[in-house]
Chains A and B, each alone.
Chain A
Amino acid sequence: MDRLQTPAPRPLSVLIVEDEALLAVELGFLVREAGGVDVGHALDSAGAVAMARQLQPDIALVDVHLADGPTGVEAARQIAEGDGAMVLFMTANVKRLPEDLAGACGVIGKPYSDRAVRRALTFLARCLQDETAPGPPPPGLVLSDQFMARWNVSQLAQAG
């Protein structure tokens, strides 16, 4: 088990952008369980962009449908391009995402399991720290082409 021998990645700071209060709270638990820090919750796109700028998180977990409508994609693009925070989509509408995932590193489809989210966060923390992937992305996490290239993940590793 190589993974256990490498040093633990530094804690991931996570901004949660989700208009369902219960999902946001539960995501906060999962972030902490995965060794991360839950730095804040935003309910709408304006809050998401403002909090990303202010808090400078490592990663923002962004739903497509927010309190102000289907604005998650645009918010994600602003966060990814403007503030340099990495974005991970968490949506029931994976098919509606643009081809380039609006600059996001990837997507977890809803309904997700708590395991899938913990695994994805652990994987992404490792990728951010090492600037390369420790292996193929875990089940449930689909990476964007841009980040697959950045972290040297082969297309084949992502099949299924």
Chain B
Amino acid sequence: MIIVDAQAPDMPIVFVNDAFLRMTGYSRHEVMGRNCRFLQGPDTDVEAVRALAQATGKGKAASLDVLNYRRDGTPFWNALQISPVRAADGQIVYFIGSQVDVTARKAAEAALEAAAEAQARTAQQALADRTALLHEVDHRVKNNLQLITSLLVLQTRRTLDSATRTALESMLSRVSAIATVHRRLFQSHDLERFDVATFVRDLMGDLSSDREDVDIQLEMERVDIAAAQAAPLALAVNELVDNAFKHGLAPGNAGRLTIGVRRLNGHYVIEVCDDGPGLPDSGEFAPGFGLTITNLLAQQLRATLTFESAQPGLRATLKLPADG
């Protein structure tokens, strides 16, 4: 603790206790009569000193942490409290300053701050690494899908047997549907969700040029499903569309294909509707491979798959729970 004379020029120290001398390393005779600015040093915050002077100038008490220097030049953090002492007439005669060495606390705070910063940097780096890895994997998946697609096309070109060719073309269409999913999957901001309507638009955009005789109508709402469901759903929709093109809208049988995507009572409903010959008289299809895998995919998606007459034509409806 020190006491300074508030009325003498340059506010000299008039009292100093032993604790102050121990803390700062000075002898009593070295500090008595001096202004206490000798405690300041190269890294003392000029703003802090100015704030202190301003407060005392207005006769107010002040407290703040300021970096001071001992006699031997070592710095320490001083939690300084200054209060005015007034005479009976209200005039300030002394200021009392009490000092506490808080270097340890400051160091702990700085260490904590540094640790928090390091942690933030680590987290940021981890995120950047993860993003880079995701891009790399995405890139490889896309390139491999391209390779698979090109292999299937090359094989198809060399295949003369029409049944084999049809099978290869069906496989190509399935791989392309998955490829379309992957082209979109990492484009959105939300990597966890998959936009069904955009997928259908991409799929139909790709197919439509081969069948300009078919009038394609899209009646779609925004429906997002979990990314994990994207491939099975895309495959199922692809089979239904493929079926409509092959049977309901067989080449030479120009017509209309309507695809609906909408939400209904906690479900997502996807309809593929053609205006072709419709269900066979038996009311059931001969179970082909396409229908088999569509049924399996519907089961996997916990969806119901129904076929009914669209009068005229066929309506295939895939209804899946919206919670998935």
Contacts and interface: CB of A to CB of B under 8 A. Distances in A.
Interface of A: 1, 20, 22-23, 25-26, 29, 65, 92-93, 95-96, 109-116, 119, 138-140, 160
Contacts of A111: 142-143, 145-146, 149, 176, 179, 182-183
A160 B202 CA distance: 8
A22 B154 contact: yes
A116 B176 CA distance: 11
Given A92-B139, A93-B139, A139-B205, A110 B198 contact: no
A114 B209 contact: no
A36 to B, nearest CB: 17
B110 to A, nearest CB: 40
B210 interface: yes
Nearest to A94: B187
Nearest to B202: A139
B147 interface: yes
A112 B202 CA distance: 11
Size range of the interface on B? Answer: 20 to 34
B143 A92 contact: yes
B150 interface: yes
B157 interface: yes
B259 to A, nearest CB: 15
Nearest to B182: A111
Contacts of A96: 135
Given A114-B153, A138-B209, A139-B202, 17 more contacts: A20-B147, A22-B147, A22-B150, A23-B146, A92-B138, A95-B135, A110-B143, A110-B146, A110-B183, A111-B176, A111-B179, A115-B206, A115-B207, A119-B209, A139-B208, A139-B209, A160-B198
Name which of B176, B198, B208, B209 has the most chain A CB atoms within 10 A of its CB.
B209
A111 B184 CA distance: 10
A26 B212 CA distance: 25
Please classify the interface of chain B as helix (H, G, I), strand (E, B), loop, or mixed, using the class held by over half of its residues.
helix
Name which of A95, A109, A110, A138 has the most chain B CB atoms within 10 A of its CB.
A110
A5 B109 CA distance: 79
Closest 3 CB pairs of A and B: A139-B205, A92-B142, A111-B179
Interface in B160-200: 176, 179-180, 182-183, 198
Nearest to B175: A111
A22 B145 CA distance: 13
Name which of B146, B176, B179, B206 has the most chain A CB atoms within 10 A of its CB.
B146
A65 B139 CA distance: 10
B123 interface: no
A112 B146 contact: yes
Given A109-B183, A111-B179, A26 B153 contact: yes
B28 interface: no
A23 B147 contact: yes
B221 to A, nearest CB: 16
A149 B320 CA distance: 44
Contacts of A140: 205-206
Contacts of A23: 146-147, 150
Contacts of B60: none
Contact of A113 (B138, B149, B198, B212): B149
Nearest to A3: B212
14 contacts: A22-B150, A23-B150, A92-B138, A92-B143, A92-B146, A93-B135, A110-B146, A111-B176, A112-B149, A114-B149, A114-B153, A115-B206, A139-B208, A160-B205
